[in-house]
Amino acid sequence: MSAEDHRCWICGAQQLVLRKSSNVATMRPEDFAISDAHYGRTAAVYECQNCRFLQCADMTAVVSYYEELEDPAYIESRPERLLQSRHLLRDVARLTGRSLRGLSLLDVGAGSGPLVEEAQALGMRAEGVEPSRSLCAHATARGLPVHHGVLPHPDVQGRFDVVTLIDVIEHTTDPVGLLSEASAAVEPGGVVVLVTPDVSSVAARLMGWRWWHFRLAHVGYFSRETLERLCERAGLQPTTSIRPGWVLPLPYLLDRVERYLPVRLPRARWQSSVAVPFNLRDSILLIGQRA
């Protein structure tokens, strides 16, 4: 399929230019792991000449890979991801000026449910949807209401005060459709919380195609401008944004830093108990209110 056959997933323009050729021979479910560290390995990346959105326009049915996905490294990092979810929910409360206790939350792309678990701990009525059968099974084993599948989902009924898509929108070939479904699931006056890598960040521009967010699982690359355009097309009014931080295990981070180094970094048993907070300022947390 040529660039002339593609349309921009955000603005619909048929003005795509190839910016990076594919360096992927085959695709397997493990290539789409949350913990994947094959940086710079992507399908062909095209740029829209109208809105400058970057997309892997040749990718089609990626959901099937997520259905079969297993990700042991992600499961092992659960304590840190719980802490990260706690910080994120506090940011949402601060940015919206609302107490979250008693509110309802739907987490789209919930994984094994760390955000759902933390939301419940804060007094929210929380549930999630997740395409991976394996990750759903981990959530169910913890007694968390994470439904297997995607939006719309027959077991997700009614509307929610908060809908979250945390590092999700970059994984879909239909971002307008997905965000429109999320918008439809929000109560009047409620919010959609988006977190995604920022392809226009300083880190992304310095690293070029070796940036850690250029991965096979990521098929759409947003800037603040294209993310706001996406929100508007999905019926959401962008209100405020911040640069969110992350918390990950030290060995997990060392493994990924080594991707850029010619040597292996020292390892010690004590490292497994260390959680590292960091903020590379190359992601966006955007609050969108239903228009």
- Checking if the pLDDT of 57 tops 60, the result is yes
Q: How much of the chain exceeds pLDDT 70, in percent? A: 99
Contact assessment for residue 45 and residue 219, using Cβ atoms and an 8 Å cutoff: no
Alpha-carbon distance of 80 to 171, in angstroms, equals 22
Q: Report the SS3 class of residue 98.
A: coil
- Checking if the pLDDT of 117 tops 90, the result is yes
Is the pLDDT higher at 277 or at 113?
Answer: 113
Q: How confident is the model at residue 2 (pLDDT cuts 50, 70, 90)?
A: low
With a CB cutoff of 8 Å and minimum separation 6, the contacts of 80 are: 247, 248, 249, 252, 275
Segment holding 290, helix H or strand E:
strand 283-290
Q: How confident is the model at residue 91 (pLDDT cuts 50, 70, 90)?
A: very high
Residue (of 241, 248, 290, 243) closest to 272 by Cα position: 248
- Helix H segments across 97-208? 114-121, 133-141, 175-184, 202-207
Task: List pLDDT tens digits, range 196-241.
Answer: 999 999 999 999 999 999 999 999 999 999 999 999 999 999 999 9
User: What pLDDT score does 255 carry?
Assistant: 86
Total Cβ atoms within 10 A of residue 91: 17
Pairing outcome for strands 160-166 and 104-108: parallel
Tokens of 49: 């000449």
User: What pLDDT score does 253 carry?
Assistant: 86
The pTM score is 0.94
Task: List pLDDT tens digits, range 168-195.
Answer: 999 999 999 999 999 999 999 899 999 9
Contact assessment for residue 150 and residue 131, using Cβ atoms and an 8 Å cutoff: yes
Place of tokens 């959401």: 236
User: What pLDDT score does 3 carry?
Assistant: 57
Residue (of 91, 131, 89) closest to 110 by Cα position: 131
Pairing outcome for strands 236-242 and 283-290: antiparallel
Average pLDDT value for residue range 51-55: 98
Contact assessment for residue 209 and residue 179, using Cβ atoms and an 8 Å cutoff: no
Residue (of 242, 199, 244, 193) closest to 220 by Cα position: 199
Segment holding 189, helix H or strand E:
strand 186-197
Alpha-carbon distance of 224 to 241, in angstroms, equals 9
What are the phi and psi torsion angles at 222 (to 5°)? -105, 150
Average pLDDT, the chain: 94
Pairing outcome for strands 186-197 and 125-130: unpaired
Alpha-carbon distance of 75 to 114, in angstroms, equals 10
Class of domain 3-290: alpha beta
User: What pLDDT score does 207 carry?
Assistant: 96
Q: How confident is the model at residue 105 (pLDDT cuts 50, 70, 90)?
A: very high
